[in-house]
Amino acid sequence: MFPWVWFWAPQVRLPFSGDVAQDIEPRLDAFFRGIKPASGDARIEAQAFDVASYGDQLGTITELLLELAERLPAEEQAKSKPLEDLRKIHKAIEGIKYAERFRRSR
């Protein structure tokens, strides 16, 4: 349609055909309501999640543990199976993050 004749274009408004406003913020209320009272307070968990997600919290703890483990003598590090497992898990997760960042940058 030509812009200079816009006023001739009919505007028909059917019921429920007006503008639509949609809130696209994810609602996690159901997730936090599912926390059993014995496990913690759902309101506190929701506020803590706003500060740092569970992945951020676990990542920080993992990095701290690995940093502290590096201070152990080499022979103790070599015989620690949980430390070896934690290193493998950390390396795998870092690989996933790197691959995802690479995929998004293309």
Rounded Cα–Cα distance for residues 34 and 44 (Å): 13
pLDDT tier for residue 31 given thresholds of 50, 70 and 90: confident
Task: Specify the DSSP class assigned to residue 5.
Answer: G
More confident residue, 1 or 29: 29
pLDDT tier for residue 4 given thresholds of 50, 70 and 90: low
Q: Do the beta carbons of residue 42 and residue 33 sit within 8 Å?
A: yes
Count of residues for the chain?
A: 106
Q: Residue 61 to residues 1, 6, 54, 86: CA-CA distances in angstroms?
A: 61, 62, 11, 11
Model pLDDT for residues 44-69, shown as the tens digit of each residue: 888 888 899 889 999 999 999 999 99
What pTM was estimated for this model as a whole?
0.61
